[in-house]
Amino acid sequence: MSVLEVRNATKRFPGVVALDDASIRVDRNEVVGLIGENGAGKSTLLKVLTGIYRLDEGEVRVNDGVIELTSPRDAFDHGVAMVFQEQSVIGTLSVAENIFLGREGEFIKGGLIDRGRMNEAARVELAKVHLDIDPAIRTEELSFAQRQMVEIAKALSLDSRIEGDIVILLDEPTSVLEKREVDLLFEIIRDLKDRAAIVFISHRLDEVLAISDRIYVLRNGAVVHETPATDATVTELHGHMVGRSLHHEYYREQRQSGAGERCVLEVKGLGRTGAFEDVSFALREGEVLGIAGVVGSGREALARCLAGLLPPERGEILIDGQPARLDSPARAVGHGVGFVPSERKAEGIVTGMSVCENVTLASLADFVRNGFIRRGDERAATQGWIERLSIRTPSGRTPIASLSGGNQQKVVLAKWRVAGSRIVILDHPTRGIDVGAKEDVYELVRDMTGEGLCVLLLADTLEEVIGLSSRIIVMRDGRVSATFDSPPGGKPNQVDLVRAMV
C-alpha cells in the first residue's frame, strides 16, 4: 500500500519543464532512493511533496487519497516531514523549542508553555536519533551534525502525533556528516522503517545503494529508471543519471601534472592558538596539495588562514619566496590567492547578482576605466569563461541564484581565473553537487594545474583527496601527522591516511 504517491506530475516554469509526467510511489516500511543530476527535477519534486509548489498537472496522494498540500506545515500535518538540506533549525531557540516550533499547542496550559513537559517530549524524540543532549540547550551550541540530528528528530516527532503513516524526506542528509555519523544515520533509518516510509536523496550513489530498497532515477524532469537497490550498481545508476556511462578515469589521473620547479607558496611553522600549530609545507606550481583530516583537525582553519580570513598568530608565509602577510581577504587576493569556500551560498557567490557580476567581482578594477565599469569587456570575459568551463547558464546576465550548485561552483572558479589567481584553495569544492558536475570540477582542477596554477584541496571524501592530489598532508589535532606522495599510479591507500588521521 502506498503511503505517498505522485502521479503523472508535470510542473512548468517559464522556459523549463521541471517535472515531466513523473510518477513515484513510496510504500509503507520502505526506503526509496531518489537520485538525479542537479536540474533533474529532484528539488522540484520535493517542493511539490512539501506543499511549496503546486502541480500544473498530476496529483499527490497521501494514504491513497488525493490531497492538495498548501505549505510545508500542511504537508507536515499530513504526515510528510522534510529534513532540509539547508538546515532549518533556529539557533537562538532550544532544542526542544525547535522540535516543536509552531506546534506548541499540546504543551500549553493556562496560556503558558509547560517547558518541563516539552523538554520531556523532546527527550523522547532525541532518543530516537540516539542524541544524548539536554533538550533545553540552545541549538547554536550544537555541532553541525548534531543539528542535523535535531532536524531529523523534529521530523520523527510526527510519529506519535499523526494518525496513519508518516513519510520522511531526507534531502542530502549526509553531505555534512562524517563517516561515523553517516553510519549512525543509516542505523536510525533502518530503525525507522518499522514506523515510516523514507525518501532518501543523496549525490553519494554508494550511500543510496546501501540504504535504499528501491531507487528512482530522475533526468530532465522525468523518471528514467526504477530499480530495486539489490539489482543496481553505481556505474549503472550513473549511466542512467547522466545518460552516458561513467568516465573511465574518474579523477583524471592521467592528466595529473608533475610538480614544477618553482615553489609558489611556502608555509613555515604556522600556528594559531586553538586551531593548528607548527604547520609547514611547500606548494609548487602545477601541484595539487590535498589536506586530509577529520573535523577538528585544524585543516579548515588552515585553509581560511591562507585565504586571509583568519590571521595566523605564529609562523611565516612565503609567496614566490617573499614573505607575505595575508591578514585580510583583500591582501590574499592581491597575492594571487583564490578561495573557493565550502559555504558556497554564504561566501562563494553573491546571490543577488548576475553570473557576470559574480565572475568579475574579485577583479573589478581590471574592468574599470575612468571610474566606470566597461560592461562590454566584462561581458566578453564572462562569455569566454562560460564557454571554457561549460557553465550552463542562458547568459551572463542570468541571476546566479537560478543556476544549479555545480554551475555556481564553476562561476566561483571562473571568478578566480579572471582575477588571475595562482594559488586556488578549494574547500570541499564538490560538496552538494552531483556526479556530472563533480567530474567537470575535476576536469577544471586539471586544467588549472596544467596551466601552472597550484591548488590546495580540502576534499569531500578520502577517495577524492587521493584521486586528485599530487601530494597529501594529513592533519591531526592541529598538527601535520603525515605526508604522502600521490603520483599517478602510485596513490597511497585509504587505510594509511585514516591511520594518520585518527
Partner 1 sequence: MAVSFSRRIRSLAPVLVLLALCLVIASTNSNFLSVSNLIRLLSAAAIPLVLVMGATFVILMGSIDLSVEGVVALAAVAASMLVANDFTSLDLGFVALPAAMLLGGLLGLANGLLHVRLAIPSFMTTLGIGFACVGVATAILGGFTVRISDRTFRELTLGRLFDVPYSVWVAGLCVLVAWIIQERTRIGRWVYAIGTDEHTARQVGVPVERTRILVFALAGVFYGLGGAMSASQLGQGHALLSQGRLFTTITAVVVGGTALSGGVGSVLNSVVGVLVVIVLANGMVLMGIEPFVQQGVQGLLIILAVSLALDRSRLAVVK
Residues 308 and 479: their CA atoms lie apart, in Å, by 20
Cβ within 8 Å of residue 137, ≥6 positions away: 94, 95
Cβ within 8 Å of residue 118, ≥6 positions away: 96, 97, 100, 104, 107, 135
Residue 83 near residue 173, CB atoms below 8 Å: yes
Which CB, 161 or 204, lies closer to partner 1? 161
Kind of pairing between the strands at 263-272 and 112-113 = unpaired
Which CB, 14 or 105, lies closer to partner 1? 105
- Give Cα separations from 14 to 17, 113, 192, 379 (angstroms): 8, 46, 39, 24
**In the complex, minimum distance from the CB of residue 84 to partner 1, in angstroms, rounded to a whole number:** 8
Cβ within 8 Å of residue 169, ≥6 positions away: 46, 49, 50, 80, 81, 82, 83, 198, 199, 201
Which CB, 72 or 286, lies closer to partner 1? 72
Count of residues engaged in binding partner 1, rule: CB under 8 A: 24
Among residues 20, 60, 76, 293, the one that binds partner 1 under rule CB under 8 A: 76
Among residues 16, 67, 113, 162, the one that binds partner 1 under rule CB under 8 A: 113
Segment interacting with partner 1, rule: CB under 8 A, options 88-96, 293-301, 424-432, 448-456: 88-96
Among residues 56, 64, 68, 104, the one that binds partner 1 under rule CB under 8 A: 104
Among residues 14, 15, 65, 102, the one that binds partner 1 under rule CB under 8 A: 102
Say whether residue 295 binds partner 1 (CB under 8 A): no
Which CB, 222 or 361, lies closer to partner 1? 361
Say which residue the cell 532536524 belongs to: 151
- Give Cα separations from 463 to 33, 103, 241, 408, 417 (angstroms): 23, 43, 21, 23, 26
Among residues 64, 106, 108, 352, the one that binds partner 1 under rule CB under 8 A: 108
Say whether residue 489 binds partner 1 (CB under 8 A): no
Map the footprint of partner 1 across residues 340-399, applying CB under 8 A: 346
Residue 138 near residue 94, CB atoms below 8 Å: yes
Among residues 29, 88, 227, 398, the one that binds partner 1 under rule CB under 8 A: 88
Say whether residue 54 binds partner 1 (CB under 8 A): no
Question: Which grid cell is 492?
Answer: 597511497
Which CB, 93 or 234, lies closer to partner 1? 93
Say whether residue 92 binds partner 1 (CB under 8 A): yes
Say whether residue 93 binds partner 1 (CB under 8 A): yes
Which CB, 230 or 273, lies closer to partner 1? 273
Which CB, 274 or 376, lies closer to partner 1? 274
DSSP string, 116-148: HHHHHHHHHHHHHTT----TTSBGGGS-HHHHH
Say whether residue 164 binds partner 1 (CB under 8 A): no
Cβ within 8 Å of residue 220, ≥6 positions away: 17, 20, 39, 40, 41
Site of interaction with partner 1 (CB under 8 A): 71-73, 76-77, 88-93, 97, 101-104, 108, 111-113, 115, 141, 274, 346
